[in-house]
Amino acid sequence: MFNDLSSPLAHLSTRRSGKPRDLAAPGPSPEQLREIALLAGRTPDHGKLAPWRFVIVPNDRRDALAALLVAAYREERPEAKRAELDAMEQFARQAPALIVALSSPRTESHIPLWEQELSAGAATMNLVHAAHAMGFAAGWLTGWPAFSDRVRDAFGAAPERIAGFVFIGTPARALEERPRPDPARLVSTWEG
């Protein structure tokens, strides 16, 4: 069984993301989506900088997102084939709900950028955890859109970066396990 919510430990040991393209209704309500983002604000960060933020993409803005991704992709790759543009459209439209997680580093701070970016990754993971704790499944994607300056500029401004597109909904097909790290390589004991 995946995503067993009977206890925090049960959830951590059965946690499995949903594939965004396989996420269907029901998704979170607008209030739940906001709550998910607020819950992810409770993330460790050195220096209390909160070097991340979350942008909710309402469903009535998905067409606008699709148009943005297609235009940005075409601008960078004028020779793009129809299938590539279709993939951008599908990316923007998949799953019932979407939150864009931004890494928002404070460059004036003495806290190293690396630490701020680590915290942004942790905050994005907490978005996934919050969505799962509410009974949904989430999937964290980056792909081409996360590395396009034009797309980033539609959500924020440099030096911000898109940490991830977190899609949320209910798995329309049974989740399948993916390979997990070899415990022998994953954990060792320092022998000094």
Q: Which residues bind ligand FMN (CB under 6 A)?
A: 16-17, 139-143, 164, 178
Q: How many CB atoms lie within 10 A of CB 13?
A: 9
Residue 30 or 44: the one with the smaller Cβ distance to ligand FMN is 44
CB of 139 to ligand FMN, least distance (A): 5
Tell me phi and psi for residue 101, to 5 degrees: -95, 125
Decide: 51 and 104 in contact? Cβ < 8 Å: yes
Q: How many CB atoms lie within 10 A of CB 19?
A: 17
Residue 84 or 189: the one with the smaller Cβ distance to ligand FMN is 84
Residue 51 or 164: the one with the smaller Cβ distance to ligand FMN is 164
H/E stretch holding 162: strand 161-171
CB of 13 to ligand FMN, least distance (A): 11
Decide: 176 and 109 in contact? Cβ < 8 Å: no
Residue 48 or 100: the one with the smaller Cβ distance to ligand FMN is 100
2's tokens: 């995946």
What's the angle, vertex CA 34, arms to CA 33 and CA 38, rounded to 5? 120
Tell me phi and psi for residue 164, to 5 degrees: 180, 155
Residue nearest to ligand FMN (CB): 17
Residue 85 or 140: the one with the smaller Cβ distance to ligand FMN is 140
93 forms bridges with which residues in the sheet? Answer: none
CB of 123 to ligand FMN, least distance (A): 12
CB of 183 to ligand FMN, least distance (A): 15
